[in-house]
Amino acid sequence: MAYDTNNIRNVVLLGHPGCGKTTFAETMLFESGAIKRRGTVEDQNTISDYTFIEMERKNSIFSSLMHAKWRNCKINIIDTPGFDDFIGEVISSLKVADTALMILNAKGGVEVGTELMWEYIEKFKTPAMFVVNQLDHDKADYDTTLEQAKQRFGNKVIPIQFPLHTGIGLNSIVDCLRMIMYVFPDGGGKPQKQPIPDLVMEKAQEIHNQLVEAAAENEEGLMEKFFEEGNLNENDLAKGLTIALANQSIYPVFCCSATRNMGSGRIMGFINDIAPSPADRPDAVLEDGGTLKCDSNGEPAVFIYKTMSEPRVGTVSYFKVYSGKLSGGTELHNSRTRNGERFGQLYEVNGKSRDAVDGLSAGDIGVTVKLKEALTNDTLGGKGIMKRIDPIHFPEPRIRTAVNPPSKADMEKLVKALHQIAAEDPTLIVEQSATLKQTIIHGQGQLHLDITKYRIEKVNNISMEFLRPRISYRETITKEASNVYRHKKQSGGSGQFGEVHMRIEPYYEDMAAPAGLNVRRTEEEELPWGGKLMFLWCIVGGSIDAKYSNAIKKGVMSKMEEGPLTGSYCQDIRVSIYDGKMHPVDSNDMAFMLASTNAFKNSFNEARPQLLEPIYELEVLCSGDVLGEVMGDLQTRRAMIMGMDAEGHYQKIKAKVPIAEMYQYSSTLRSITQGRAKFTRKFCEYMAVTPDVQKELISMYQAELQEA
579: domain CATH number is: 3.30.230.10
Q: What is the pLDDT of residue 227?
A: 67
Residue 334 belongs to a domain with what CATH number? Answer: 2.40.30.10
Residue 2: DSSP 8-state: P
115 in the same domain as 103:
yes
27 in any annotated domain: yes
152 in the same domain as 19:
yes
459 in any annotated domain: yes
Burial label for 326, CB within 10 Å (0-12, 13-18, 19+), is buried
Number of domains in the chain: 5
- Domain end, chosen from 561, 583, 607, is at 607
- Report the alpha-carbon distance of residue 144 to residue 141 in Å, rounded: 6
Residue 560 contacts residue 529 (beta carbons within 8 Å): no
603 in the same domain as 644:
no
- Report the alpha-carbon distance of residue 320 to residue 679 in Å, rounded: 31
- Report the alpha-carbon distance of residue 454 to residue 460 in Å, rounded: 10
**CA-wise closest residue to 597 among 638, 557, 541:** 557
Angle at 461 between CA 455 and CA 467, to 5 degrees: 65
Residue range(s) defining the domain that contains residue 40: 8-189+250-274
110-121 burial string, b = 16+ CB within 10 Å, else e? Answer: bbbbbbbbbebb
Instruction: Give every residue of the chain whose pLDDT is below 50, as ranges.
Output: none
- Domain end, chosen from 439, 467, 495, is at 467
629 in the same domain as 603:
no
Q: What is the pLDDT of residue 228?
A: 64
Residue 639 belongs to a domain with what CATH number? Answer: 3.30.70.240
431 in the same domain as 339:
no
Please give the single-letter amino acid code of residue 378: D
Q: What is the pLDDT of residue 704?
A: 84
Residue 141 contacts residue 105 (beta carbons within 8 Å): no
184 in the same domain as 62:
yes
Residue 146 belongs to a domain with what CATH number? Answer: 3.40.50.300
Q: What is the pLDDT of residue 492?
A: 64
- Report the alpha-carbon distance of residue 151 to residue 114 in Å, rounded: 13
217 in any annotated domain: no
Contacts of 275 (CB under 8 A, 6+ apart): 9, 11, 98, 99, 127, 129, 245
Please give the single-letter amino acid code of residue 35: I
Q: Is 102 helix (H, G, I), strand (E, B) or coil?
A: strand
214 in any annotated domain: no
Q: How far is CA 80 from CA 50, 86, 350, in A?
A: 13, 9, 14
Contacts of 648 (CB under 8 A, 6+ apart): 110, 115, 151, 152
392 in any annotated domain: no
Can you spell out the DSSP letters for 225-243? HHHHHSS--HHHHHHHHHH
Q: What is the pLDDT of residue 405?
A: 87
493 in the same domain as 458:
no
- Report the alpha-carbon distance of residue 502 to residue 477 in Å, rounded: 15
Angle at 232 between CA 231 and CA 235, to 5 degrees: 165
**CA-wise closest residue to 82 among 66, 61, 51:** 61
What is the CB neighbour count within 10 angstroms for residue 394?
18
Residue 79 contacts residue 22 (beta carbons within 8 Å): yes
167 in the same domain as 29:
yes
638 in the same domain as 584:
no
Sign for the CA dihedral angle at 649, 655, 660, 661 comes to negative
Residue 404 belongs to a domain with what CATH number? Answer: 3.30.70.870
632 in the same domain as 591:
no
105 in the same domain as 62:
yes
Residue 280 contacts residue 294 (beta carbons within 8 Å): no
457 in the same domain as 480:
no
495 in any annotated domain: yes
